[in-house]
Structure 1
Amino acid sequence: MDLKMPSSETQLKKECHLYLINGGKWAASMSIFILIAMLANIALQTSKVLLASNIVLYMMPVFLTILLAAVVIRVYSTDEISNNALLAYLCSLEFSWLFLIWMIFDSSEEIFAGNAALAGVESIVDVLVFTFAIALFVDRKIMLMGVLPLMLLSFFLRVTEIPDNYFFPLTKFICFFAIVITGQKILYTWFKTAVVRDIEKQYLLKHFRRMALIDGLTNISNRRHFDEILSQEIRASERNNHPLCMILIDVDYFKKLNDSLGHQVGDDCLVALAKVLTDVANRPRDLAARYGGEEFVMLLPDTDKSGACRIAEKLRTALSAVKIPHPDSDISEYITVSQGVCQWQEGILLDELVAEADKQLYLAKKSGRDCFKAV
């Protein structure tokens, strides 16, 4: 079982990209909401000097940018949207808002009296600043590209409207900038920590699953995993009427090997045998597992008895070619195995199939070992 996991840096980049896309969608939704609120506010004004057609015209760049982005998202998947495309969208949305705000302010004397226009435009800018800050906080550079032009525009408009008072707009700019920067740092730290912890949890889950299903010595499936897969394959054979075979394998005179050369040599023998088994059972659905002690098993879906016998003979040949020494064997100077081949038949339960394979294995041992018997 593969324990490869993406690094924290790779996953963080991926999550940041995903968040920026979702943040861009959210910024678009908020933009539409703000535009509707602006239209409603203008419609409720007692003075109707500014034509509705004019304000809609000013809003068109924002609408068109959002519409184009919606089409792109509809056509392409999230993974296909590059950072450059995302940046182009955000810049277009930003400039569209700057154009709209400037045009509203430039026409404000026709709608509002005194500094009321300034207050209204500043309110829109403040809402947009926080919208872009929240939508883009995972990337400080992109976030500043989104909020700084708006903050500078607000500063410029106030200085233009009230040229004798620089203290308030400058103080507001500094305070907003400090809030945005420190808030971004706090939120990004939390975001990064959450991503790293998620990676760690995924790794632990895979590791625990590996410990539960993989034999620690041979690094192939254990009996628990084999029983689970065998149950699944029996159900599949019942549905599809496809053949299913298993081969129960036992190392000949393994106890003598342990007694004469020690358990470490015995363990090395099992590891080498497991490698041979995985080379033989090499189709995607084939399964090689350690059944217990020196016993192994191969599960062969979509394989009838004759095919399983060919696999058993292939294992015998491959093991002979590896030449794992066994000086105390009664039949060979190298490791050999006895094999019991059994084909599943309709109505046979899991335990009955294993018992029949074990019976054939016993017959193979009784027949002199280093062979297989099949039923």
Structure 2
Amino acid sequence: MQKTTPTFEQQLHFETQQYLAKGCRWLSVLSFILAVVIGITRLLNIPELNFTFTLISILPLALVSLYGAMRDFSLPSSQKINDYGRFYRYILALILCWITVCNWLILSAPFAQGKVESILHLMMFALSIAFFPVRRLLLFAVLIMSTYMASVRIFFFADELFFPIMKMLSFLGIVISGQQVIEKWFRKSIFKDVENQRLVNELNQLALTDSLTKLSNRRYFDAMLTKEIQHCERSGSAMSIILMDIDFFKKLNDYSGHQRGDECLIELAKLLKHQIKRPRDVCARYGGEEFIVLLPETDIAGAVEVANNIKLRLNQLAFQHPDSLVSEYVTVSQGAAQWQPGINAEQLIKQADDKLYEVKATTRNNIAY
């Protein structure tokens, strides 16, 4: 009956997976567009470029980007909380393709350093946004790109070591600081969502549960009975209910006090929980001392067998009732009814109630059906 609320770790894992999947997708779209634009622009601006060499340099990036844009990264490869291997593999492939394109730009134009650095800055900025929930993945991607950018300055353009390395370290410091700030916001947001879900589930549970016995209440039972009747109408399967009433409960309250009466209700509720165990079965407190049981896929013979078991177990429980007129222990009168085509929930409950009244008017501590 109660909807399970995910834990913070479960929700964090789920939200992180979803965010990384979306990040990979729009990063792939961005890379594909940039690859096409770079290739066309270079061919138009530098006609002497070898078309085959240009295509070979751009094509891997375009294909990997297209693959990433079409793949559903949200599907986990395993149930491990921190398993992000598919993201590592894809980003490594994408970065290697970008390094290939940058090398091609530098080799095809002697003064392409500024454009290469602009592209690398753009990609590192995009990576920082796409992967901020997972610091290791973010650093893995950004460190490769920034190391490559520093290497380009040192080896291709003979810059001194100090400036490229300081630039790389400064960029990494900014990325890590920004990631820590955004990660805190991300975690707080998820924590609030989990708490809200928990509170909503608790409120729903309170609205559908009897506070004393912790059984379902009448509101929940009526809803489930209506649903099971609809199922029976479609499938033609059997379904029965048992309505029961504690014999001389008012006398128990008057003689032993209301606290003793509450104890009686709680003990009967525990007994019903142990007897009614199938997933679709429902036992509920239907009124003051009235309880009702819903038995899907059960005909009247099965319902009577369940009612007899309840009577037997209650007798074994031996809950003292010093003022009962039928036994020294607490007993219940029960009325059972089976659903028939064409009758609604109210009519079915009335049939069980009529049978319950027969027992109460004659023998008590018995079953009518």
Instruction: Provide TM-score, normalisation by structure 2.
Output: 0.89
What is the correspondence of 1:226-305 to structure 2 with a 5 Å cutoff? 226-305=221-300
TM-superposed deviation, 1:207 = 0.8
User: 1:211 is paired with a residue of what secondary structure?
Assistant: helix
Separation in structure 1 between the aligned mates of residue 230 and residue 85 of structure 2, nearest angstrom: 50
> Is 1:198 aligned to residue 186 of structure 2?
no
Partner of 1:331: 326
Q: Unmatched 5+ residue regions in structure 1? A: 110-114
- Rate the CA distance shift 1:53–1:331 in 2: closer, same or farther, 3 A: same
Partner of 1:146: 141
Partner of 2:61: 62
Q: Deviations over 1:308-353 (max 9, x none)?
A: 2222112111222222222332222222100111223333232222
TM-superposed deviation, 1:166 = 7.3
- For 1:120, give the aligned amino acid: K
What is the correspondence of 1:336-351 to structure 2 with a 5 Å cutoff? 336-351=331-346
Q: Considering only aligned residues, what root-mean-square deviation do their CA atoms show, in Å?
A: 2.6
Separation in structure 1 between the aligned mates of residue 306 and residue 165 of structure 2, nearest angstrom: 82
> Is 1:78 aligned to residue 79 of structure 2?
no
Separation in structure 2 between the aligned mates of residue 164 and residue 279 of structure 1, nearest angstrom: 79
- For 2:6, give the aligned amino acid: P
- For 2:58, give the aligned amino acid: M
Separation in structure 2 between the aligned mates of residue 22 and residue 57 of structure 1, nearest angstrom: 28
Partner of 1:12: 12
Partner of 1:225: 220
Which of 106, 124, 127 is equivalent to 1:129? Answer: 124
Separation in structure 1 between the aligned mates of residue 101 and residue 267 of structure 2, nearest angstrom: 73
Partner of 1:112: none
Separation in structure 2 between the aligned mates of residue 62 and residue 333 of structure 1, nearest angstrom: 85
Q: Unmatched 5+ residue regions in structure 2? A: none
TM-superposed deviation, 1:178 = 4.5
> Is 1:48 aligned to residue 47 of structure 2?
yes
TM-superposed deviation, 1:64 = 5.0
Partner of 1:23: 23
- Which stretch shifts more, 61-70 or 27-36? 61-70
Separation in structure 1 between the aligned mates of residue 316 and residue 66 of structure 2, nearest angstrom: 67
- Which stretch shifts more, 61-70 or 338-347? 61-70
For the 8 Å contact 2:32–2:66, the answer to whether it is kept is no
For the 8 Å contact 1:3–1:203, the answer to whether it is kept is no
Separation in structure 2 between the aligned mates of residue 353 and residue 3 of structure 1, nearest angstrom: 28
User: 2:341 is paired with a residue of what secondary structure?
Assistant: coil
For the 8 Å contact 2:333–2:364, the answer to whether it is kept is yes
Q: Deviations over 1:74-119 (max 9, x none)?
A: 6x9712264223322222222222232123213323xxxxx3x112
- Rate the CA distance shift 1:171–1:77 in 2: closer, same or farther, 3 A: closer
User: 1:292 is paired with a residue of what secondary structure?
Assistant: coil
For the 8 Å contact 1:340–1:372, the answer to whether it is kept is yes
Separation in structure 1 between the aligned mates of residue 237 and residue 6 of structure 2, nearest angstrom: 38
- Which stretch shifts more, 258-267 or 364-373? 258-267
User: 1:298 is paired with a residue of what secondary structure?
Assistant: strand
Q: Deviations over 1:40-98 (max 9, x none)?
A: 211321x2222121122123443454466678x46x97122642233222222222222
User: 1:297 is paired with a residue of what secondary structure?
Assistant: strand
For the 8 Å contact 1:136–1:143, the answer to whether it is kept is yes
* Percent of matched pairs sharing the same residue: 37
Partner of 1:107: 108
- For 2:203, give the aligned amino acid: F
- Which stretch shifts more, 147-156 or 225-234? 147-156
For the 8 Å contact 1:249–1:296, the answer to whether it is kept is yes
- Which stretch shifts more, 349-358 or 152-161? 152-161
